[in-house]
């Protein structure tokens, strides 16, 4: 059963939403009236998805979403009556997976949450791939810098410097990228 954290200032408005979520098979694990404590509540309750129901997302709400997304990222569905394009862009930029304008019909809840979860998962995979590529690029830059240091200091060709680095890394049982980092740091200390 999917666990949902509900954020809504209005208890009167949130009761039908809570009931609709329960009817379609979700467990509402908590309800808070604003996003000020979102990070702590998410850490404590560990919901699978966050559903926010607001008339219009405020700057504070969006800032709290950013903070929560850094520590404990979750799919976020925002139901609102504000169709302003700038607000939609701001909300999706900070991590809102689905921004739904207009009335809320219980028949639409499951497909909206399913789509938000799929979008969140796809975005998470892309983010991890980007981090991996960025790390590999950084490591590659360090290897190139370290080769340059060895070529200059020992008068080696590029392939000789690379082979020497590989041998040093194997002898020390460390990754080539870690050895390159050490060489670059050592060279910067000597300058």
- Give the pLDDT of residue 88: 93
Residues 31-65 have pLDDT tens digits of 998 888 888 999 999 999 999 988 888 888 899 89
What is the reported pLDDT for 10? 83
Beta strands in the chain (DSSP E): 3-8, 27-32, 49-53, 76-80, 98-101
Mean pLDDT of the chain: 91
Percent of the chain predicted with pLDDT > 90: 68
Beta bridge partners of 103: none
CB neighbours (10 Å) of residue 79? 22
Please tell me the predicted confidence (pLDDT) of residue 48.
Answer: 96
Q: Give the mean pLDDT of 10-14.
A: 81
As annotated, the residues of the chain forming the CATH 1.10.10.10 domain(s) are 130-190
Q: Do the beta carbons of residue 49 and residue 74 sit within 8 Å? A: yes
**Averaged pLDDT for residues 13-30:** 90
φ/ψ (deg, to 5) at 110: -60, -50
pLDDT bucket at 191, cuts 50 / 70 / 90: low
Topology, domain 3-104: Rossmann fold (3.40.50)
Sign of CA dihedral 86, 92, 96, 101: positive
Q: Identify the pLDDT of residue 170.
A: 96
- The boundaries of every CATH 3.40.50.2300 domain in the chain are 3-104
Q: What is the mean pLDDT of residues 132-152?
A: 95
84 contact partners, CB below 8 Å, separation of at least 6: 56
Query: What tokens appear for 162 in the block?
Result: 């690379």
Mean pLDDT computed over 73-92: 92
Residue 21 has pLDDT above 80, yes or no: yes
The strand order across the sheet containing 3-8 reads 27-32, 3-8, 49-53, 76-80, 98-101
Q: Is the pTM of this model over 0.85?
A: no
Give residue 190's Cα distance to chain centre: 39
The pLDDT assigned to 56 comes to 86
Architecture per CATH, domain 130-190, reads as Orthogonal Bundle (1.10)
Overall average pLDDT of the 8-14 stretch = 83
């Amino acid at each position: 059963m999917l666990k949902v954290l509900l954020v809504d200032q209005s208890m009167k408005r949130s009761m039908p939403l809570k009931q609709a979520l329960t009817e379609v098979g979700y467990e509402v694990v908590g309800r808070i009236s604003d996003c000020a404590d979102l990070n702590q509540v998410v850490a404590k309750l560990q919901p699978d998805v966050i559903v926010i129901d607001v008339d219009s997302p405020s700057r504070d709400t969006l800032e709290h979403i950013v903070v929560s997304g850094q520590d404990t990222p979750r799919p976020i569905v925002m139901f609102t009556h504000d169709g302003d394009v700038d607000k939609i862009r701001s909300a999706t930029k900070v991590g809102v997976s689905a921004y739904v304008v207009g009335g809320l019909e219980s028949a639409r809840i499951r497909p909206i949450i399913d789509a938000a979860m799929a979008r969140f998962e796809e975005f998470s995979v892309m983010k991890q791939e980007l981090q991996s590529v960025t790390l590999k690029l950084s490591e590659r830059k360090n290897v190139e810098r370290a080769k340059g240091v060895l070529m200059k200091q020992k008068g080696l060709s590029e392939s000789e410097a690379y082979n020497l680095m590989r041998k040093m890394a194997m002898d020390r049982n460390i990754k080539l990228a870690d050895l390159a980092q050490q060489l670059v740091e050592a060279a910067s200390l000597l300058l």
